[in-house]
Amino acid sequence: MKGWSIFAHSVGMVTRNLSEALKIAVVPVLIGFAAIVVLTMMTGFSFGSMSDPEAMEKLMRDGGMGGMFFPFILFVIVLVTIELWIFVSWHRFILLEEYPTGWIPEFRFDRIMAYFGRGFLIGAIMVAMWIIAGLAAAILGPLGVVALVGAVFFSFILLYRLVAILPAAAIGKPLTVGQAWEATKGSSGTIIVLVIVIIVAQFLLQVVTGLSMVVFPPLGILFQVFVTLVMSLVNVSILTTFYGHYVEGREIG
């Protein structure tokens, strides 16, 4: 099954290149963590405070809507920037053999912005599809609900058939949505298997992580951080594999 082969190949990308993965990801993650700590100290805002009514009330009282909105936007910008910095570096390492030369990967602002733009485009297409399906569900009743379920199912296929434009943006060889759609023709069955494998793998890892937290919490926290980092790179490697196989014609070995 090609879906399983893509997943296994993507896991292998990370495990075979673990030292490069650490060089690409560790320092950006630490920089992001430090930036979040500084922002929290400066603004008093944290993602944890969003679930604390008293903290939110204090932020609103001290700074109005801006006291909550602007720190939140800054937090999101930091997190997205760090994430895309890692993703772009990883795509370029795998597809262009652009090996990290130190512990701080090159920050390619143009490629990061291109990657963000393509990601935003894919998100906008999916949201538009969900809105149309939601309106159909509201208007047509039971028949519309079927349409909504179908739209959600189709959105997973749509997502993976378009993701090739992301690695393409990272390496400076842009693809249009139409080109990505054409290149991935006939991949729907592979995508369905792949999505199922990813869901099962994520579930099993969450179970193992939960057990490690119960047995020995300090080790469990470290394990969870490591698993999150590795699975993030595995997910990016899946996009890389899709691009390499369907666009560049590489074999899945």
Contacts of 16 (CB under 8 A, 6+ apart): none
Confidence at residue 226, expressed as pLDDT on a 0 to 100 scale? 78
Distance CA 249, CA 138 (A): 43
pLDDT given at position 45: 63
Which pLDDT score is estimated for 42? 73
Q: What are the sequence ranges of the domains in the chain?
A: 2-247
Q: Which CA distances in Å does 165 have to 39, 44, 181?
A: 33, 38, 10
Phi, psi of 8 (to 5 degrees): -60, -40
pLDDT for 68: 63
pLDDT along the chain (253 residues), means of 10: 90 92 91 84 64 61 60 85 95 94 93 96 86 73 68 79 94 92 90 90 84 72 77 91 92 80
Cα 242 to Cα 253: distance, rounded to the nearest angstrom: 13
Q: Using CB atoms within 10 Å of the CB of residue 169, give its burial: 0 to 12 exposed, 13 to 18 middle, 19+ buried.
A: buried
The string of DSSP codes covering 207-249 is: HHHHHHHHH-HHHHHHHHHHHHHHHHHHHHHHHHHHIIIIIS-
Residue 149's pLDDT is 72
C-alpha span between 81 and 27 (Å, rounded) = 13
- Our measurement of the distance from residue 222's CA atom to the centroid of its chain's CA atoms, rounded to an integer in Å, reads 21
DSSP run (H or E) holding 122? helix 109-140
CA distance 182 to 147: 25
CA dist 13 → 48, 129, 236, 239 (Å): 34, 33, 10, 12
Alpha-carbon separation of residue 4 from 13, 137, 197 (angstroms)? 14, 34, 7
- Reported as half-sphere exposure (CB side, CA atoms, 13 A), residue 155 has a value of 18
Maximum Cα–Cα distance across the chain: 59
Instruction: Compute CA distances 166 → 66, 87, 98, 130, 170, whole Å.
Output: 33, 9, 17, 21, 6
- Tell me which residue of 249, 202, 246 sits closest to 227, measured CA to CA: 202
